[in-house]
Amino acid sequence: MKLYLDTANVEEIKKAANWGVICGVTTNPSLASKEDESFETILPAICNNIEGPISAEVIAMDYEGMLKEARELAGMHKNVVIKIPVMPEGLRAVKTLAQEDIRVNVTLVFSVNQALLAARAGASYISPFLGRLDDIGQTGVELVRDIVDMIDLHDLDSEVIAASIRHPEHVQAVALAGAHIATVPFKVLEQMFKHPLTDLGIEKFLSDWEKKEAAHKK
Ligand code: G3P
């Protein structure tokens, strides 16, 4: 499973890029709205810091408007992937964009049927939102597993991006459920490194080393 960063914050992207574990970024209008700069400034900066797919979402909700925005965004950098919500006009746009070799990430997916429709329209990526399903008392990771199984069973080409990840347990669960990609907030990525026994282990290695060094100097 590949790891993407789910953020529009360029500083977070730079830090995560330095750790060498991230190979893509997803953004959405809510994430972009948290930043001071315009999205037209942010998107090229993201593309300059990560060599991999960068999802940028359309705002238009009609076919022609989506195509216009999608072509503009895709024209900004070769790695831009267009994010479009799963809806009839959206999937119509996915089909047209796929014919133009513009990759689309179909977003706000909450059922296997929506994922099937997205795959049939030619989506390169499908993003089920597991945290938001958990929020309403369903089990998001089960949806991710079911979509991956459906894609495999029917030999479809789309990759599944587990999105709306809220904590490290979500990441390991979707890795075991077979997601192709998990897109994680920066805070969750930081938490994934942490284990109290790792911290204790490092502390002990260093203190043992210092004791030995001190004994040699005597
Ligand atoms: O990738 C989608 C994600 O940004 C949504 O997360 O936490 O707003 O449900 P959340």
pLDDT digits (tens, 9 = 90+) for 60-115: 999 999 999 999 999 999 999 999 999 999 999 999 999 999 999 999 999 999 99
CA of 61 to the centre of ligand 1 (A): 19
Cβ 148 vs Cβ 178: under 8 Å: yes
**Torsion-angle region of 164 (φ positive above 0: left; ψ -120 to 50: alpha; else: beta):** left
**pLDDT at position 217, please?**
83
The alpha carbon of 128 and the centre of ligand 1 are apart by a number of angstroms equal to 10
- Rounded Cα distance between 51 and 167, Å, is 25
Average pLDDT, the chain: 97
pLDDT value, residue 33? 97
Q: Residue 110: how many CB atoms within 10 A of its CB?
A: 18
Sequence-separated contacts (24+) of 86-91 with Cβ below 8 Å: 86/114, 86/117, 86/118, 87/61, 89/61, 89/62, 89/63, 90/66, 91/117, 91/118, 91/121
> What are the tens digits of pLDDT across the range 110-160?
999 999 999 999 999 999 999 999 999 999 999 999 999 999 999 999 999
Q: For the chain, how are helix, strand and coil distributed in percent, rounded to 5?
A: 55, 15, 30
**Of 138, 134, 120, 119, nearest to 180 (Cα)?**
119
Catalytic residue among 78, 83, 217, 218, which?
83
Is the torsion defined by CA of 204, 210, 213, 218 positive or negative? negative
**For the chain, percent of residues with pLDDT exceeding 90:** 97
Confidence of residue 57 (pLDDT cuts 50, 70, 90): very high
Candidates 3, 4, 5, 6: which one to mutate for ligand 1, based on the most atoms within 8 Å of Cβ?
6
**Pairwise CA distance, residues 17 & 208, whole Å:** 33
Of 165, 193, 192, nearest to 177 by C-alpha is 165
Are the beta carbons of 124 and 118 closer than 8 angstroms?
no
Answer yes or no: 83 catalytic. yes
Residue nearest to atom 6 of ligand 1 (CA): 164
Distance from Cα 138 to the centre of ligand 1, integer Å: 16
> How far is residue 78's CA from residue 69's CA, in Å, rounded to a whole number?
15
What residue spans of 104-218 are helical by DSSP H? 112-121, 130-135, 140-153, 168-176, 186-193, 196-217
Considering only CA atoms, which residue is closest to atom 1 of ligand 1?
Answer: 163
Question: Residue 17 in contact with residue 49, Cβ under 8 Å?
Answer: yes
**What contacts 69, CB < 8 A, 6 or more positions away?**
58, 59, 60
